[in-house]
Amino acid sequence: MNKFKLTTAVATAALLVSAVAPAAFAATSVTVNGNGAFSHTNVTVNNTKSTVVSQTNTSNVTNVVNSTASTGHNSSSFNTGGGSAIVTGNATSNVNVTVGGSSNTANLTSDCGCTTNTTVNVSDNGAFSSNKVTVKNSSWVTVLQQNVANVLNAVSGKAKTGGNSSNFNTGPDGSAVGTGDATSNVTVTVNGSSNTLNQ
């Protein structure tokens, strides 16, 4: 009967968000001893360390804005014996909509954790015995980052001024109508999403 002692561990996969520090390989110790003459012993050890980072952001944004500024629609009529004046101010509508994008950031440490202490001891076996020990260490990192942004902006800006009336007025000073400016400003800013991997 072939005798060997194996002490090892396999690193497990990790699903982490934001910060990832890969774990180092566990120490591996293989001992083959006390086998008889003409014995054959073949030992294979596979150490695998995997790191998986998965980040997903989904943003659904709906903005419905209706802005109206109105001035005017005044009336001065049927006045006698004096002057008649209508003066309306400015009508201004300002709409600013800003939608910020979502972001993913993953920080991976520069140390891959690939170092390992491997000890192989083949001793005290019989004459013409054949002993083979193979130790394989493998490490890999997978990063998955996804952003989905659905943005709907429905913006209406309206400014009105005027619509004044001055009718049937009598007097030496007459009638005067003054109307201000109508201004509508609409600004929509959508910032895209971002993915950042620091390693």
For the chain, what are the domain ranges? 4-198
∠ at Cα 151 (148, 156), nearest 5°? 175
Q: What is the DSSP string of 139-166?
A: EEEEEEEEEEEEEEEEEEEEEEEE--EE
- Residue 2 banded pLDDT, cuts 50, 70, 90: very low
Q: How confident is the model at residue 9 (pLDDT cuts 50, 70, 90)?
A: very low
Place 192 in a pLDDT band, splitting at 50, 70 and 90: confident
Max mean pLDDT among 46-50, 94-98, 134-138 falls in: 94-98
pTM summary value: 0.56
The upper half-sphere exposure of residue 129, i.e. CA atoms within 13 Å in the direction of its Cβ, equals 20
Percentage above 70 pLDDT, the chain:
83
What's the pLDDT score for residue 75?
Answer: 85
**Cα–Cα distance list, 127 to 3, 35, 38 (Å):** 15, 9, 6
